[in-house]
């Protein structure tokens, strides 16, 4: 199966962001991808988080998600993207990943559980952590995909729980905040999660200046199969269940670990 990484340069214009998602989804489908993944905050993003995030938030059956579902249907491709979802708490929203299928509609949603309160960045001021730590995995085309969001990448127990739940590919949808050594950490952590869980990791990031770019697909041996660099773009890359099985047979960590 081919999956595509869609590296966006999202801003505060929701309609423009949806138009970019539509263009990239169309290109991914033309390139033979069965699924395209977009970053965290794909539909609304700013360099600095503020009160407008909960103000623009919508329920998951609102206009933004309806348009994302329509894009998936129109281009006959599964689509994963980050949205701002309304919560029950005034002044705070959920940072949510949604997944739509090309014909079945809704596939999954995941509310980010590890909020980025670091480097002087207080995501939890305006975003509410997801109440459930249960791993979110969905199937498409015979492949199991696990959902993670940005700062989650620093918490290896979440990636392991997704692998335990059957994930072959981890979709790490991100807007990785720039800073000293942050690009190096982004690349190293994507590779680490792939190697230690014998999975593919698709780390899909916002482009500079809001984020670091460098969206990557890492195979279960830690080999970087694609790196999108710093500019917005989309690229389709092959993932193979046979590769996952072969690596897990060579390194049978799931049978050998002692808890």
The total of structural domains in the chain comes to 1
136-180 pLDDT, tens per residue? 999 999 999 999 999 999 999 999 999 999 999 999 999 999 999
Structural domain boundaries enclosing 160: 2-256
How far apart, in Å, are the Cα atoms of 72 and each of 39, 168, 190, 203?
16, 22, 26, 20
- Residue 182 predicted with pLDDT over 80: yes
Identify the pLDDT of residue 259.
82
Known catalytic residues are 40, 112, 150
Angle formed by the axes of helices 63-75 and 14-30, to 10°? 20
User: What is this structure's pTM?
Assistant: 0.97
- Residue 256 predicted with pLDDT over 80: yes
Rg (CA), the chain: 17
Range with lowest mean pLDDT among 12-16, 102-106, 136-140, 227-231:
102-106
User: b/e per residue, 147-161, with b = 16+ CB within 10 A?
Assistant: bbbbbbbeeeebbbb
Residue recorded with tokens 């739509």: 100
CATH number of the domain that 56 lies in? 3.60.110.10
10-57 pLDDT, tens per residue? 999 999 999 999 999 999 999 999 999 999 999 999 999 999 999 999
Identify the pLDDT of residue 80.
99
Across the range 72-99, mean pLDDT stands at 98
Of 127 and 105, the structure prediction assigns the larger pLDDT to 127
- Residue 258 predicted with pLDDT over 80: yes
């Amino acid at each position: 199966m081919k999956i595509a990484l869609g590296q966006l340069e999202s801003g505060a214009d929701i309609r423009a962001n949806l138009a970019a998602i539509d263009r990239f989804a169309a290109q991914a489908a033309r390139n033979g991808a069965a699924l395209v993944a977009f970053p965290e905050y794909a539909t609304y993003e700013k360099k600095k988080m503020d009160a407008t995030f909960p103000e623009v938030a919508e329920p998951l059956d609102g206009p933004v998600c309806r348009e994302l579902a329509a894009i998936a249907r129109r281009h006959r491709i599964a689509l994963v993207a980050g949205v701002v979802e309304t919560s029950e708490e005034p002044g705070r929203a959920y940072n949510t990943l949604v997944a739509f299928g090309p014909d079945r509609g809704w596939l999954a949603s995941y509310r980010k559980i590890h909020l980025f309160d670091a480097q002087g960045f207080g995501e939890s001021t305006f975003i509410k952590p997801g109440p459930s730590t249960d791993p979110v995995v969905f199937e498409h085309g015979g492949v199991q995909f696990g959902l993670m969001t940005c700062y989650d990448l620093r918490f290896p127990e979440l990636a392991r729980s997704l692998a335990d739940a059957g994930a072959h590919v981890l979709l790490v949808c991100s807007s990785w905040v720039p800073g000293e050594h942050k690009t190096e950490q982004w690349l190293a952590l994507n590779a680490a999660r792939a190697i230690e869980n014998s999975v593919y990791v698709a780390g899909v990031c916002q482009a500079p200046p809001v984020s670091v770019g460098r969206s990557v697909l890492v195979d279960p041996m830690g080999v970087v199969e694609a790196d999108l660099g710093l500019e917005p773009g989309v690229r389709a890359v092959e993932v193979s269940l046979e590769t996952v099985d072969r690596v897990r047979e060579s390194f049978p960590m799931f049978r050998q670990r002692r808890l």
